Structure 1
Amino acid sequence: MPLKFINTSRSSFFATVRGRVDAYFKEKDLSPHANGAMWTKAVFFLSGYGLLYGLLLSNQFNAWAMLALCAGLGAFAAFIGFNISHDALHGAFSSKSWVNRLLGDTFYLLGANPYVWKITHNVVHHTYTNIPGHDEDIEIAPGLIRVDSDEPLRPWQRYQHWYAFPLYSLASLSWVFRKDYLKFFKPQIGQHDNSGHSGQQHVLLFVTKAAYYFFFLVLPYWMLDITVGQLAIGFLVMHGVEGLILGLVFQLAHVVEGTSFPVPTEGVGIQEAWAVHQLRTTANFSPRSTLAAFFCGGLNRQIEHHLFPKICHIHYPAITAIVKQTAQDFDLPYLENPSFFSALHSHYRLLKVLGRPATLPAA
């Protein structure tokens, strides 16, 4: 049976906050989509990505400089994912669907499939955030990393607060070689029916993957004076940086102290309104940091993103105060860590606690 959210408390939080946010855009005579600053960001990250790739293929640098270029290319790939692909795939970048489709295809630059992402992220994760058995995004490395207290505890997870971070750096490698194929051919993702993909999507999956392998493995080997080993090191460094950035930003939004992982009541569902559920399972970090907003594509303000995924992230700083005040008006949680490092420390502490047996209170 599909999981349902039941607003047992009759909360009018979402109707209220949506009305206030809509009023903000109307009063300011603003579009909720991209503005000039957003387009400038898009040009900056795409140009930087293209420049770094071109410099790599120019064969004009020594090995250490090439390695630095690989790391930079990985970082820019992650920033394109955050700042361009993500908004476009949510339909938030433009009011024109063809613009969103075109910019959403920048996801291929990460080696990832936008069609699969829209299912796993837009449909499943945004609906069933942090719900075990439904939101597969919290299944980071099943059997290795434990983020749900109801999961079986394994002896090696005692050290997960140390080994989790190197594992995050493998995130984009998994995406390129494993995750998209696995998710595409799974009959269900969580409880979502994942069957019936079109023939066109089957072709696109394999053709675009092959194109990525060609441009990032075959072509560099042909054009550069490098060994297979050097090619492998550069590719691993690029994806290590990309994966670590992608992995950390997601974890700091949903797997920190204070976020919940609610278990649905069988036959009843989640006894809470969907929007209230988002407040309980999502956290912001570095909300006042201009750098975090610029590079993370607004994903440091995940609360606003989860409540308003179709609003371009360039507007999140303006609507944050509205969302936070409305949450306070309804006596609801609004979780945030003041900095990236405080969020990182919170994530570390949570992993440490979940890697050890629960301590029973003294009698």
Structure 2
Amino acid sequence: MNSMEKVRPPPAGAEAGSDFARLSKKIQAAGLMARRPGYYALRITAVTTLYALGCTAFVLIGDSWWTLLTAGFLAVVFGQVALLAHDVAHRQVFRLRRCSELSGRLAGNLGIGMGYGWWQDKHSRHHANPNHEDLDPDLDPDILVWTQDQARAAKGLPRLLGRSQAFLFFPLLTLEGFNLHMSGIRSLADGALKNRAWEGILLFTHIAVYLGALFLVLPPGKAIAFLVVHQCLFGIYLGSIFAPNHKGMPVLRGADRPDFLRRQVLTSRDVRGGRFTDIVLGGLNYQIEHHLFPSMPSPHLRRAQAIVRGHCQELGVSYLETSLLHSYRQTLASLHHAGAPLRQPRASSLA
């Protein structure tokens, strides 16, 4: 395994079974896979209430530049709805698939204009092969390049942006909200998309209500300003949540596929913080634990961390936890390193 550390054997006297199986037994014994219906009922109620308050404030403030404060507030609320949709997709909230898919589409497509089916498929492939250059869709070089090999092969926009991508990363996140909407719309052309009719109806209902409300309540200039502020801040918030999870961690290539536990732990990082961090990042600050146990309710991830960290120490598997700011520094340093081939001067044709 070129890009991963050497795997040590299980400690003497360890239980039979894989390293992950033994960890799973510890997690199950601690009761951390149990459902948390009360927690999610409270969280869904809180986010729904904030959503309704933001929409009410938008209408009551009306034709005033103060409405841009509402745009910022709703950007955070949309981010929280996206985090709820994420938990729903992982079957953390509802046991039945039908309930999960229905609530996920209501939250994603109708609530924030995100194509739930498209995103769920993409995110499932990411979980199966995190940070694998060939298999993780989050490492596709659509705008940015994530490795030097991608930089050398880059053409068009990735080649243009790649040399300065570390400096452009956060400014480009302002477009992530728009990208989510457009990706959801483009996915409707895919005949393999499940429940495509409902995906489209809910998605276009959101767009129609959203744009209709903007241009009914506000004059065109303020409506466009609200849309830009809201969607750009929404994109920055979402990108700031997901960037610390894997960017800057080891990248796998080709047949480089360690066992499940190491594949998840060595390509992910946790972010230190208290309860406020848990709320802002939706529990994804415990990225290692989430990747090992995707269906674990997010309020259990904090307790699971001590068990997972201890198990990794027993195995000699590196377990990375950093501050949020340091995770961003690692992300930007990785982007700068990946773009290095694009900053090298081309050899002169006369040389």
Q: TM-score range by the shorter chain?
A: 0.7 to 0.9
Distance 1:203 1:218 in 2: 22
What SS does structure 1 have at the residue aligned with 2:250?
coil
Partner of residue 155, structure 2: none
Change (3 A) 1:358 1:272: farther
Q: Look up the match of 2:281.
A: 296
Residues 175-190 of structure 1 aligned to structure 2 (within 5 Å): 175-176=180-181, 178-185=182-189
Amino acid corresponding to residue 328 of structure 1 in structure 2:
Q
Partner of 1:101: 101
Shift of 1:344: 1.3
Sort the Cα spacing of 1:358 and 1:8 in 2 relative to 1 into closer, same or farther, 3 A.
farther
> Does the 8 Å contact 1:172/1:239 carry over to 2?
yes
Q: Is the 8 A contact 1:8 1:271 kept in 2?
A: no
Counterpart of 1:112 (choices 106, 111, 114) is: 114
Q: Which amino acid aligns with 1:168?
A: L
2:188–2:200 CA contact under 8 A, matched in 1? no
Q: Distance in 2 between matches of 1:152 and 1:101?
A: 38
1:244 maps to 236
Distance 1:298 1:133 in 2: 27
**What is the alpha-carbon root mean square deviation over aligned residues?**
2.5
2:171 corresponds to which of 166, 170, 194: 166
- Stretches of structure 2 lacking an aligned partner (at least 5 in a row): 1-6, 11-16, 153-158, 344-351
The number of residue pairs the alignment matches comes to 324
Q: Select 2:254's aligned residue among 260, 264, 287.
A: 264
Taking structure 1 as the reference length, the TM-score comes to 0.82
Asked if structure 2 preserves the Cα contact closer than 8 Å seen for 1:38 and 1:314, the reply is no
Structure 1 Cα separation of the partners of residues 315 and 8 of structure 2: 15
Partner of 2:89: 89
Aligned-residue offset at 1:40: 2.1
Aligned AA for 2:71? C
Cα distance per residue 1:51-82 (max 9 Å; x no partner):
1012112344621x200101110111111211
Which residue of 2 is the match for residue 66 of structure 1?
67
Query: Does residue 332 of structure 1 match 2:333?
Result: no
Pick one of 349, 354, 357 that aligns with 2:338: 354
How many angstroms apart in 1 are the aligned matches of 2:167 and 2:88?
35
After superposition, what is the alpha-carbon deviation per residue over 1:132-180, rounded to whole angstroms, capped at 9, x for unaligned? 23211223x62x422123213446422111111111121111111x212
Check if 1:209 corresponds to 2:226.
no
Contact 2:174 2:235 in 1 (8 A): yes
1-structure distance, mates of 2:246, 2:286: 11
Q: Which amino acid aligns with 2:265?
A: L
Letter in 2 for 1:146: V
Give the Cα separation in 1 of the matches to 2:209 and 2:185: 19
CA separation of 1:230/1:60 partners in 2, compared to 1, >3 Å: closer, same or farther?
closer
Deviation for aligned residue 1:284: 1.1
| Partner SS, residue 305 of structure 1 | helix
Match of 1:43 in 2: 45
> Closer, same or farther in 2 for the Cα pair 1:31/1:156, shift >3 Å?
closer
- The one-letter amino acid of 1:350's match is S
CA distance in 2, matches of 1:51, 1:147: 40
Displacement of 1:9 in angstroms is: 7.5
Contact kept, 8 Å, 1:13 with 1:327, in 2: the verdict is no
1:226-245 alignment runs, 5 A limit: 226-245=218-237
- d(CA) in 1 for partners of 2:169 and 2:117? 28
Paired amino acid for 2:268: T
Q: Which amino acid aligns with 1:315?
A: H
The answer to whether the 8 Å contact 1:147/1:351 transfers is: yes
Q: Distance in 2 between matches of 1:8 and 1:216?
A: 54
TM-score (normalised: structure 2): 0.85
Cα shift at 1:355: 2.0
CA distance in 1, matches of 2:139, 2:206: 27
Q: Secondary structure at the match of 1:58?
A: helix
Distance 2:225 2:342 in 1: 41
C-alpha distance after superposition, 1:196-253 (max 9, x if no partner): 345xx2212321222111111013312x1x3323212211111111111111221110
